[in-house]
Amino acid sequence: MSNVKFYYGGNVPLEMHKVRIVQKLNLVSIERRLEAIKEAGNNTFLLKNRDVFMDMLTDSGVNAMSDKQLAAMMEADDSYAGSETFTKLENKITEIFGKKYFLPAHQGRACENILSQAFVKQGSVIPMNYHFTTSKAHVYLNGGTVEEIIIDEGLNITSEYPFKGNMNVEKLKALITKHGAEKIAFVRLEAGTNLIGGQPFSLQNMKEVHTVCKDFDIMLILDASLLADNLHFIKTREEVCKNMSIREITRAMADLSDVIYFSARKLGCARGGGICTNDKAVYLKLRELVTLYEGFLTYGGMSVREMEAIVVGLDETMDENMINQGPQFIEYMVNELKKHGVPVVTPAGGLGCHINAMEFLSHVPQSQYPAGALASALYLVSGVRGMERGTVSEQRDENGNETFSNMELLRLAMPRRVFTLSQVNYAIDRIRWLYENRKLVGGLTFVEEPPILRFFFGKLATASDWQTELVAKFKADFGDNL
């Protein structure tokens, strides 16, 4: 909502778009939901869309597209080499980020593969404000290690601190001194830090990180996948930036970065990805890998239609009234839940609303995956599909022991411009009911546990028959209603 004030009070987020194409949703009965979650092994990744009412699994590739994006897709220029569509995208990247060289890739992790293969060597150390699953995996695949140097406040679940995604600059200096600058392949800053609740870093922090990188001649790489949310927070929370336009803030961030990469499944509301830089030597090094893994340099694994949509999507990201939609809906949801005592990550970040499962289900031990249990329980009582972001998303150590995660979160992603306020209110209602009945929810144990990325395909069973009890309580309270 830009500066809209509700005259009679009760301000709520206001949609700055209208809906012209809709997709019908199903809200299946709780009996079917019980079957469905059992079939899925209590893993929300394995649910079928037909059984899901609100899909809050992710914002990746499922943001609403605009009429202008759809229109642009109709005039894509398809060719293996030299397509006009590529030139348009390259020009848009140069216009927005001020970078001369653009390398396309099919999605964010493909960029991470290319960057890691090009720069990470055996023994390399990569400082990050925080890791993302795929960014870390690619560093390790190439023999490097990741050092997370988020500020202490970043891991504080309930906080008022506006920039929990900031990097600890003193720790960065200490790390470089400890290992020697030649061991640091690059420093990675992640906008809208995903795994700690979509938390932003400030422009000031980025400047400080940049200065350290320059002093030691180390490359600074920006993961801009969640840039849109971070831009909104810099504009609204960083006093000195409040009079800057979104374009100016974007350019300031880009000027501090040697390389920028992004998942266009998030940034630009389409499907694809890319890397940009002004450094010709870097560009040439990456170019070989793009053609090897992604495709020729003028499509890089993307469909030209998606590339057209990204051109328009990036342009629309420079519009404050577009990028504020996600954060404002999330803030509404977080504040409503907080008001009713439900433990949530604060301050509200981007990407989604994050529920603190460790506190919500404080009676469920971490070894029985509270965030996974909460994801399963919420689906059962509402048809809302969230994503476990806790110990199930970690991997066992080399001795087969569990690696308990710092936080046990249930992420309820808010795909941009997809849900209406009444749908968000429905989710809030069911979460509140579940919170009141939380003692009925028990833990989970693995019955099928793949050795890598177990959160995608693993299956779990309930540690007791708690789901039957939860269904019985639901029926007692809701009768025959859904």
Q: Does 198 bind ligand F0G (CB under 6 A)?
A: no
Residues 6+ apart with CB under 8 A from 9: none
Distance CA 127, CA 134 (A): 15
Residue 128 vs 176, nearer CB to ligand F0G? 128
DSSP single-letter state for residue 327: H
We find the least distance from the C-beta atom of residue 58 to ligand F0G, in angstroms, to be: 3
DSSP single-letter state for residue 261: E
Distance CA 417, CA 434 (A): 26
**Which one from 132, 261, 379, 419 is the annotated catalytic residue?**
132
Q: Does 265 bind ligand F0G (CB under 6 A)?
A: yes
133 tagged catalytic: yes
What residues between 267 and 286 interact with ligand F0G by CB under 6 A?
273
Q: Are 147 and 330 in contact (CB under 8 A)?
A: no
Q: Does 230 bind ligand F0G (CB under 6 A)?
A: no
> Using omega within 30 degrees of 0 as the cis cutoff, is the peptide bond preceding 200 cis?
no
80 tagged catalytic: yes
User: Interacting stretch for ligand F0G, rule CB under 6 A, among 220-228, 323-331, 342-350, 453-461?
Assistant: 220-228
Residue entry with tokens 């789901």: 467
Can you name the residues that pair with 54 across neighbouring β-strands? 384
Residue 192 vs 443, nearer CB to ligand F0G? 192
Residue 456 vs 478, nearer CB to ligand F0G? 456
Residue 60 vs 406, nearer CB to ligand F0G? 60
Q: Does 467 bind ligand F0G (CB under 6 A)?
A: no
Residue 131 vs 305, nearer CB to ligand F0G? 131
We find the least distance from the C-beta atom of residue 53 to ligand F0G, in angstroms, to be: 19
Q: Does 263 bind ligand F0G (CB under 6 A)?
A: yes
Distance CA 316, CA 326 (A): 14
Among the listed residues 226, 314, 345, 357, the single contact to ligand F0G using CB under 6 A: 226
Q: Does 194 bind ligand F0G (CB under 6 A)?
A: yes
346 tagged catalytic: no
Segment (H or E) for 237 = helix 227-237
**Which one from 223, 250, 265, 360 is the annotated catalytic residue?**
223
What residues between 103 and 142 interact with ligand F0G by CB under 6 A?
107-109, 132, 134-135
Residue 109 vs 438, nearer CB to ligand F0G? 109
User: Interacting stretch for ligand F0G, rule CB under 6 A, among 44-52, 222-230, 275-283, 318-326?
Assistant: 222-230
Q: Does 190 bind ligand F0G (CB under 6 A)?
A: yes
Distance CA 365, CA 114 (A): 39
283 tagged catalytic: no
Segment (H or E) for 474 = helix 466-478
293 tagged catalytic: no
Q: Does 352 bind ligand F0G (CB under 6 A)?
A: no
266 tagged catalytic: yes
Q: Edge to edge, what strands does the sheet with 387-389 contain?
A: 352-356, 409-413, 387-389
Residue 226 vs 428, nearer CB to ligand F0G? 226
Q: Where are the alpha helices (DSSP H) in 164-295?
A: 169-179, 203-216, 227-237, 246-255, 280-293
Segment (H or E) for 178 = helix 169-179
258 tagged catalytic: no
C-beta atoms surrounding 321 within 10 Å: 13
User: Interacting stretch for ligand F0G, rule CB under 6 A, among 75-83, 223-231, 300-308, 377-385?
Assistant: 223-231
**Which one from 38, 45, 77, 133 is the annotated catalytic residue?**
133
Instruction: Tell me how far apart the terminal alpha carbons of the chain are, to the nearest angstrom.
Output: 32
Q: Are 351 and 326 in contact (CB under 8 A)?
A: yes
Pair type for strands 387-389 and 187-190? unpaired
Q: Are 426 and 333 in contact (CB under 8 A)?
A: no
Q: Does 257 bind ligand F0G (CB under 6 A)?
A: no
Q: How many residues bind ligand F0G (CB under 6 A)?
A: 16
Residue entry with tokens 């504040």: 335
Residue 269 vs 470, nearer CB to ligand F0G? 269
User: Interacting stretch for ligand F0G, rule CB under 6 A, among 81-89, 174-182, 219-227, 307-315?
Assistant: 219-227
**DSSP string across 64-85:** PPPHHHHHHHTT----SSS-HH
Binding site for ligand F0G (CB under 6 A): 58, 60, 107-109, 132, 134-135, 190, 194, 223, 225-226, 263, 265, 273
Q: List, by residue number, the catalytic residues.
A: 80, 132-133, 223, 266, 389, 455
